[in-house]
Amino acid sequence: MPAFEELRVFSGTAHAGLAQSICDYLGIPAGDVNVFKFANDNTFVQFRENIRERDVFLVQPFSYPVNDHIMQMLIMIDAAKRASAGRITAVIPYYAYGRTDKKDQPRVPITARLIADLLTTAGASRILTMDLHAGQIQGFFNIPVDELTALPLLARYVEDKELKNVVVVATDVGAAKRSRNMAARLDVPLAIIEKRRLGNNDRTESLNVIGDVEGKIAVMVEDEVDTGGTLINSVKTLEMYGVTEIYACCTHGVLSAGAAGRIAESSLKEIVVTDTLPIANGKLNPKITVLSVAPLLGEAIHRIHSGLSVGAMFEP
């Protein structure tokens, strides 16, 4: 028995395709909302159907242009709240600003917390998201957060390739846990690339590979691929260390600033991402494989609406 009335899913302008796929999974029509900008660059929202007491899900990854998409989400939430929505779940497949999650220099913001507060202030009842940059970001919220992970999806894809002599490689010492989990899933060893500044010149870094990679197929795992710089540098380093073939798995395909081209030109064999972010057709190339998270998000929305366990989706 649903705790709230009828389930409705609405999409901002960031990724209508994903929202439509979620609705298809759920077997419901997409919600009717009008989101646009006036000539003065002010975002405007109007829900074009009655949402009183409805169980409202607003789908919007914080993709480029990031601030616009965040503000759109906040304005949608405000409008839904004032329209007497029964419950408002912000569905944020990709949560931007995840890397600004601590003060590691003096006088900097913790924007990932700020965004959490903004969502709560606007009136969100709960959050549904995927593969946060750090799990602690859940704790930036005091409303319930359901964080899904695409790791099983990505691991299954790699397993289906039936590669031999694989090593999972973490591209950064500070974020090796995801790689460790992938290595455990694939039952293969782990290696880690360490970045170290050289001398007084802050700009030059040396990359060392800790662990044994020579003659192996490397699978790199990251939460997101942004400019691709880290991946490409890691590829070069791994090649120097004698790796034979290199794959990468990333939940979020940010692919900013020429990343797609850089990947195409690199000796990276394949990069697997998901559709938490929209990927412009111009950015796609044969090396980039995109898996859909719509079934994951759709199933989670169904379970949240119906009071069923979301955790059960990830039990072995």
Footprint (CB under 8 A) of a copy of itself, residues 154-213: 170, 173-174, 176-177, 179-180, 183-184, 189-192, 194, 196-197, 208, 210-211
Instruction: Say if CB 30 and CB 11 are below 8 A apart.
Output: yes
C-alpha closest to that of 51 among 74, 77, 75, 14:
77
**Interface size with a copy of itself, residues (CB under 8 A):** 106
User: What is the nearest approach in angstroms of a copy of itself to the Cβ of residue 236?
Assistant: 19
Other CB atoms within 10 A of residue 143 CB:
14
Q: How far is the CB of 195 from a copy of itself (least distance, A)?
A: 8
Q: Which is nearer to a copy of itself, 67 or 267 (CB)?
A: 67
Interacting residues with a copy of itself between 58 and 87 (CB under 8 A) = 64-68, 70-72, 74-76, 78-84, 86
CA gap 152, 86 in Å, rounded: 33
CB of 266: closest distance to a copy of itself in angstroms?
17
19 lies in the site for a copy of itself, by CB under 8 A: no
Dmax over Cα atoms in the chain, in whole Å?
64
Within the chain, residue ranges assigned H as helices are 16-26, 66-82, 111-122, 151-159, 177-186, 229-240, 259-265, 294-306
Beta carbon nearer to a copy of itself, 154 or 170:
170
Pairwise CA distance, residues 44 & 76, whole Å = 9
Phi, psi of 49, deg, nearest 5: -145, 155
Residues 223-262 that bind a copy of itself (CB under 8 A): 226-227, 254, 256-257
Our CB check for a copy of itself shows the closer of 86 and 93 to be 86
Containing 252, the helix (H) or strand (E) segment is strand 245-253
- Quick one: 280 or 312, whose CB is closer to a copy of itself? 312
For residue 44, state whether it binds a copy of itself (rule: CB under 8 A): yes
Who contacts 157 (Cβ-Cβ below 8 Å, separation ≥6)? Answer: 249, 272, 289, 291
> What are the backbone dihedrals phi and psi of residue 4, each rounded to the nearest 5 degrees, phi first?
-120, 165
Stated length of the chain: 316
Taking CB under 8 A as the rule, which mask of x and - marks residues 105-134 in contact with a copy of itself?
Answer: xxxxxxxxxx--xx--xxx--x-------x
> Active site includes 195?
yes
The minimum distance between CB 120 and a copy of itself, in angstroms, equals 8
Candidates 195, 269, 283, 287; catalytic one: 195
Provide the mask over 259-298, with x wherever binding to a copy of itself is found by CB under 8 A and - wherever it is not.
Answer: ----------------------------------------
Complex with a copy of itself: residue 21 or 79, whichever CB lies closer: 79
Q: Which two tokens stand for residue 28?
A: 């419901």
Which of 176, 243 has the CB closer to a copy of itself?
Answer: 176
| Residue pointed to by tokens 């919220």 | 141
- Residue 303 token pair: 């379970």
Near a copy of itself by CB under 8 A, which window of 37-45, 156-164, 261-269, 284-292? 37-45
Q: Which residues are catalytic?
A: 195
